[in-house]
Amino acid sequence: MPEARKTIEIRVMRYRPEQDDAPVWQSYQVPYTDDMSVLQGLQYIKDELDGTLSFRWSCRMAICGSCGMMVNGQPKLSCQTFLRHLLPGPVRIEGLAHFPIERDLVVNVEGFIEKLEGIKPYIIPKQQRTLAQGEHLQTPAQLEQFEQFSSCINCMLCYAAHRYNADSRDGGREQRMEIMNAEEGVWGCTAVGYCSEVCPKHVDPANAVNQNKVNSAKDYFLRFLSPKGMHE
Amino acid sequence: MNHKAGTVRRPYVRPMQGWWRRDPFFVRYMVREVTAVAVALYALILMGGVVCLAQGVLAWNLWLAAMRSPWSLLLHGVLLYAMFVHAKSWFEIMPKTMPMMFVGGQRVAGSTITRCGWAATALVSVGVLGLACWWAVR
């Protein structure tokens, strides 16, 4: 970066479990250009100033969802956040809030992954179809019911802001209902709405959670009426 | 956590104290929740009026006099403002709490749902005021 003369202060919350009892802030002076993202600032630190800094990243273009971190206290994709918008600095960076810190900006996401696996985040077909039967056809209206929610890249910014059954091809609603009905399921949401505010993909997770409250409530009350007796 | 020999894994859990002061968004959320108390408080005041009415003329007149005191008027002003803030913040989040709605094949926009909330509030308020005015001049 030959033309980088302007510098900005980046303060990173460091945590090295082998030497730190608690996280400590460390400051770096980083030369920047107008087209540099926060992620590129961190990469400059790692390449040129301090190779011990740990952080996750992959695609650099807001697709993979790996580089989520708190930038000035707000959950952001660091590849999508530009240093020029954070002038004059300092820029405070810490690992995603509400997750345990493993090292520096790397957080432990096991809890999220377990929950994600638990809700079976894939289509469970109502009926198995053979290849000869062709593809599942959907109307534009059926697509719109879930399309925005399928844009989720699992970046977990919504988790850091606070603490996912609408596909017409899917028949797995009952299998997921037990998890959603649990107290730590959808009912723990008190409609703060910040998760939707910070979502980089306009998925609107608050709306997704609250739609499932409607489903959960229907499941609870309709079981008294259900002739099938399928619910416990 | 698995502690294999030679690896140091000590995940650090950050404290949650004062979480709602960290971001203006959370502060606005807490204001929405706190103003619900104002709504409950005014319901209690009205309930007190009903109880006084049941007890007789003397109790009812005492309650009316209490309602007309300067302190009561001040309290009414504060509670009305709190209720306005509560309604505003709830109508803003309301679209997120509802299932998707489609009218004529188009998804109903969040801003439309919020405006419907205000329209219903305006309608009911005008209705109640109209009823009160009609009662007063009758």
Position A12 pLDDT exceeds 70: yes
The domains of chain A, with CATH numbers, are 7-107 (3.10.20.30), 110-222 (1.10.1060.10)
pLDDT of residue A181: 61
Closest CA to A209 of A168, A175, A164: A164
Least confident of A86-100, B18-32, B37-51: B18-32
Give the mean model confidence (pLDDT) for residues B8-26: 86
Strand segments (E) across chain A: 7-14, 24-31, 68-71, 74-77, 91-94, 101-103, 106-107
Count contacts between A and B (CB, < 8 Å).
67
Give the nearest partner residue to B96 out of A144, A145, A210, using CB atoms: A210
Position B1 pLDDT exceeds 60: no
Give the nearest partner residue to B96 out of A15, A17, A204, using CB atoms: A204
Token readout for A221 is 């009350």
Residues 141-170 of chain A with CB under 8 A from chain B are 141, 144-145, 166
CA A226 to chain centre: 36
| Residues of chain B contacting A214 with CB distance shorter than 8 Å | 98-99
Find tokens 């979502």 and name the residue: A199
Token readout for B90 is 């709830």
Q: Which CATH number fits domain B20-86: 3.40.50.880, 1.20.1300.10, 2.120.10.80, 3.40.50.10860?
A: 1.20.1300.10
Please answer whether residues A13 and A25 qualify as being in contact, where contact means their C-beta atoms are separated by less than 8 angstroms: yes
Torsions phi, psi for B34 (to 5 deg): -70, -35
Give the nearest partner residue to B12 out of A73, A100, A191, using CB atoms: A100
| Residues of chain A contacting B13 with CB distance shorter than 8 Å | 100-101
Q: Is ipTM over 0.85?
A: no
Find tokens 């309650």 and name the residue: B63
Q: Do A15 and B105 touch (CB under 8 A)?
A: no
| Residues of chain A contacting B108 with CB distance shorter than 8 Å | none
Q: Do B9 and A100 touch (CB under 8 A)?
A: no
| Residues of chain B contacting A23 with CB distance shorter than 8 Å | 12, 14
B5 Ramachandran zone, left/alpha/beta (phi>0; psi -120 to 50) = beta
Q: Which amino acid is at B127?
A: G
Cα-based angle A175, A179, A180 (whole degrees, multiple of 5): 105
Cα-based angle A147, A152, A157 (whole degrees, multiple of 5): 145
Q: Do B14 and A23 touch (CB under 8 A)?
A: yes
Q: Which residues contact A224 (CB under 8 A, 6 or more apart)?
A: none
Query: Each residue of A177-228: pLDDT tens digit?
Result: 666 666 556 666 766 777 888 888 787 877 877 777 777 777 767 766 655 5
d(CA A192, CA A161): 9
Q: Which amino acid is at A105?
A: L
Judge if pTM exceeds 0.80.
no
Give the mean model confidence (pLDDT) for residues A21-35: 94
pLDDT of residue A122: 81
Find tokens 């992620």 and name the residue: A39
